[in-house]
Chain A
Amino acid sequence: MSASSNSGAFRIKGAGRLTPARTARFTFDGKSYTALEGDTVAAALLAHGVHLLGRSFKYHRPRGILTAGPEEPNALLDVSRDAARRQPNVRATVQEVFDGAKISSQNRWPSLKYDIGAANDVLSPFFAVGFYYKTFMWPKEAWAKIYEPIIRRSAGLGVSPTEEDPDHYASRYVHCDVLIAGAGVAGLTAALSAAATGKKIILVDEQPEVGGALHYDASTTIDGQNGYDWAQATAAKLKAMPNVTVLTRTTVFGYYNHGFLGLVERITDHVAKPTKDAPRERLWQVRTKKVILATGSIERHMVFANNDRPGIMLASAARSFLNHHGVTVGHNVGVYTAHDSAYEAAFDLKRAGVSIAAIVDSRDKPGEAVLAEARKLGIDVLTGHAVVDTSGRLRINSMTVARNGNFDRRKIKVDALIVSAGWTPSVHLFSQSRGKLKFDEANQRFVPDVYAQNSVSAGGCNGTDNLAELIDEAITAGGGRIALSGENRFEWTGGMIGAAEGAGPDHAVKAFVDFQHDVTAKDIRLAVREGMHSIEHIKRFTTNGMASDQGKLSNMHGLAIASEMLGRPIPQVGLTTFRAPYTPVTYGTLINHSRGELFDPARKTPMHALEEAEGAEFEDVGNWKRAWYFPKRGEDMHTAVSRECKTVRDVAGIFDASTLGKIEVVGPDAAQFLNLLYTNAWDTLKPGKCRYGIMTREDGFIYDDGVVGRLAEDRFHVTTTTGGAPRVLNHMEDYLQTEFPHLKVWLTSTTEQWAVIAVQGPKAREIIEPFVEGQDLSNEAFPHMSVAECTVMGVPARLFRVSFTGEVGFEINVPADYGAAVWKAIWERAQSMGACLYGTETMHILRAEKGYLIVGQDTDGTVTPDDAGYGWAVSKKKTDFVGIRGLKRPDLVREGRKQLVGLMTKDPKEVLEEGGQIVADPNQPKPMTMLGHVTSSYWSENLGRSIAIALVAGGRSRMGETLYVPMADKTIAVEVTDMVFFDKEGGRING
């Protein structure tokens, strides 16, 4: 066997552009085949006479290959490299064969040839359009349990892979002057022209090689050279230019605002053994000054009865398989057309030795030149005829032909049928750019009219059919001065949209419009009869054009059929919106690097590794990883946290507070600015002192809180909640720039400048004393709410005497790079004194024991300082601050507002659930009057009982009252108390 016969009996010696010696092996449904390098899966299978590739979505009808390009609606396959690298719904006309590919058909069971689901075809009256809107709605329960699973199983296309995708995907932003979408004659010419201006050009084409229509059109010459050869030579020339980038196997999938376009480049899907570093695909995000759209046009199929059998395909596709891959689609091929272009396919096949059964032309008058050539080649042409039916179970074996308007039919044997209804300009990207189309009545097509961005269309996508005009248009679009001439053999005429003869309203036949979604001409008529008069409604009711091919073949036919039914001209019926992506894009490409560790930044404090070594469990707070608790061997969370809580109050604890937001507020007007941003007064705060501050929004509700230290007259160290840091800084900047621009004050985020080690507990002072230089730590010299700049372990530090536990507390701020060393030294000493490390859980409990607020947990954006019991923090003397007017609103000062109070369960062992609703009378009829809810609830080891904080209507006037928290299985009785559960006198903090 010669190499060419190896690679398929339907290869024609001497035809095509592939190298017979370069082969690749692959399997299809378990059977092994040989392909030539450069074959698509479709070409390789056709070379072996395989036309049956899948079953249709709804009716499970046998389906084959309809096109030779990315518009393919039918031939969707499952392609895998190994178990994890498996991709469903791959278009056989796009996927290139690689050695070792395992390919299977989809949507069939038990096999492609005998598919039980095909019963749907016989039962099709029950599956009319919109059936899922109308049927199976009753009984309600049956939908989720019976109907939906059955419909999903039988109607699914492809099966998702279950293993994690082992490939990686890359991303690249790039800028250019001109982006050219499409590298056919128009795109290449425009690129030559634009490149001559010296501008930065990116030329993109979705196929493996440039050339576009020259893949199939073998008769066109450019500058006297074979068109395809000219295209490759031109690409090589462009690639050699420093200002030009040529991207093949790359699809422009989205054209967004301001010259921003999304491209996907397929890098390894065609390679047998990709290198480890090569990404599978690369996302290009391009910002360009100008776009030249040279996206060409897409051939349409003919809409006639049983037009979907394997072996029926577009004429240009058959021509492409012959002229590029050297593969014939059959030995005895029929042609059904309404356009001259199909004749050229017939001529090429005939010259390659394939017999042409007949050209059936729906028109009475085809182009004279092609008609003459057909006669010359001895091809039988039936003008004014229609193909009204086909036969053949798994592949077409005959076409039934009738003269237009005549009932006499005759069968003509064929093993393939190539069709053309004419060409649809590819205006997808133009439309995505918000350009407006106009209807070209003479040629029954939409073409670009009003541009919304700096772009220009050239060639087929602009409705420019004549080669010389196309070249001129492309040269002009490129803006350069070049000369180029082209010659083609035939000027094409003709074209039709809508149902062909024998598939009109009077014929109850299956004439497919949308192959992937099994939408027929009859379905579109039914939709109109059922009241869908807008094309958008018809689209959604029938799902015409809603499959993964987005109606590249079906939209115009569907529109014409609807227009005919509605009795309104096409422009009045309208066109559905073209949306990105042009063709499906993998999730891998869209997320590219954002997976695993790069999914989201994990922010770690300078002490993170040391805490990890001490066995810390971490919790996520925003993007921060915060030490949650430090279990010792054998401890569960409850035991560890209870031990930590007890140890802090008995001895001391060390806590990593580095994540707290920090903002340095500097300038002569710093105090005045803080006066305006916080409810408290700051001008009275002396340097060296701290104050707890509350910040409200204009509406008077609490926005954030934190301790602010005054370091100097003109310098404050503001702290915020961990989660609030960025938004508080933005909030401050916003007011500074828009409301108070007259103030001389500046803000700098210093959250990450400082590592913060909190040491809290009765022995806190004793623990840190030896490390601190330059500050007397005695109560007298450095009382609670003091701040000092001093030295800790030889490092300049900011030392705060603050407490979020109610114990003596210090927060040591050292420059972040020193955090680990200082933490380690302090922990070593603290450990020897019986102290512990504690995490955020213990911090939460200790502060709740003292009734300290956590903004965002105990408040929810509807709580005023007074509601929270922090009315003392609102200055009565200040005449202005953000929120002062909001706080005076009648609803915010009325009696009975929800207020924060303590709750103690009657059963001390019972721990309430946070979020639990509170009622006065658990026996009242439902819906009950709810008084509020539990905001914080913990087991307090120090008190030997549970404690809780809750928002309760009129809470502070209910002290001592018994309220109830109804749960699913029981009702819990609670007593309303004040919020301070531990050390009510507050003496310990000053110890």
Chain B
Amino acid sequence: MVDILEHPVSAHDLPDPHHEDHGPTGILKWITTTDHKVIGLSYTVTAVVMLVIGGVFAEIIRAQLASPNGTLVSLAQYNELFTMHGSVMIYLFAGPFAFGALANIMVPIQIGAPDMAYPRLNALSYWLYLTGAITMLSGFFTAGGAANFGWVAYAPLSNSLNTPGAGADLWIGGLLLTGFSAIFTGVNLVATIFYLRAPGMTMFRMPIFTWNMLVTAILILLAFPVLTAGLIMLYADRHFGTHIFSVAGGGVPVLWQHIFWFWGHPEVYILALPFFGMVTEILAVFSRKPVFGYKGMIFATLSIAALSLGVWAHHMFTTGVVLLPFFSIMSLLIAVPTGIKIFNWIGTMWRGEVWFSAAMLMAIGFVITFLIGGLTGIYLASPPLDFFTHDTYFVVAHFHSVVMALVLAGMAGLYYWGPKFTGYLLDERIGKIQFWFLFIGTQVFTLPLYLLGLRGMPRRMAIYPHDPQWKFLNDVSTVGAVLIGISTILFVVNVVVSWKKHPAGDNPWDGQTLEWFTTSPPPHHNFYRLPAIRSERPTWDYNHPEHRAIPHAPAPVTAETEPVR
């Protein structure tokens, strides 16, 4: 305790952070940079472009489904579209946006580091990601079209007999490249967080976002190599005559599902945890309170990660070849730490001063949307209910509630941190309008799909029998998709109209963590000076020394430990 209060406020100067910044400028700087902020910005722009591409695919899919015998696209094109929609959103948007874009920029700054631990590896990650994205999407320009076996590429549909053509190979290649990019980013994040923390920044003083990124990075290192191995096996089956996934050659098709989901379920949390972290910080800052249950939050994150490695077969309940009770209880248990997080988020806002900024609205929208996705996920952890709803639109609705919650959180992250790394605020009014379109659109889009699944419509159907209920629910969902599309356009409009218009200043939101202590945008090596780091809110402690967090086990107040005031 004495240690905490000895230097309640002080900021010490660092060597000139520009001392190594003699690099080129302009486009050459963008290509040759190893600065995590520039790389992160490249990631941000690329990922948002991917979001738009994946979103366009989604809008085409929804337009096709607006009538039972839609003729907008052919059956073959439809299969390509939903395959690439899922692939682009999962592999090329959500993951890279979380750990390539926002974590890349924010983690070093949040822990007071000058850069990532391996700046060149970081640059390699980005270029692998960009190359992988282009490789995967270039399938559309081949004779047979892009990959069309679904984003999960179940064997044996994905073998060379059932899916000949270069599109599938480009999909595998692109995924291998982005997979390596993710692994390198994971290595980088772990090394950075373990070795480059500023003096005073102990593990339990790291912001929740950094904590979540550490856990995410560890999950990446555990899960992605498995996917990489699986993809190599798939490629070997397609081209080198191996029979790993073929019955005829003595192989086991279900093995692909095991490998894929052993990566695929941790991947769900690789996608989600970063956004959980962002929301946690945003809720705290815009309630002007510390994160409620900070340590509980960290243990919840750790247990989600641990459990997520033992639940993959809940995607395979209907295969009839997995042990149902084990995967059921493990999956159900994930509800517990997730519930802790939701209650902690509410606790963070409780008796706070909730400021309805665009970022905060998006974060609150995230909590509600994620709650819907989480509760419906509990059904799917129960094998009998999964038999009932598996591969129907109920499942589609469930994971779209979850990923649309992540989109809300990602938007919250852009409104919250965008000013830090660009130096300029986004327009708040457009942001709030965008929020309402995105939030209402999400519910109008997903809620009918739950009912559609219960009414028996399987997923991945380009055309469907003319059932008035199916058509009505599909139409409502399409309206929701249009609203979401408008919200994305509003975001682009916002970036354009507020381009270099409202300078942000160092700390526009009265932030709590270290990134709000430096300038916006931060200098080449991030900091001119650092405050004393004596809690997980060094900037807050510096700005509001009289409003420290109240510890959970109050130390006996003596003259020595009495806080200032």
Is chain B found bound to chain A in the same assembly?
no
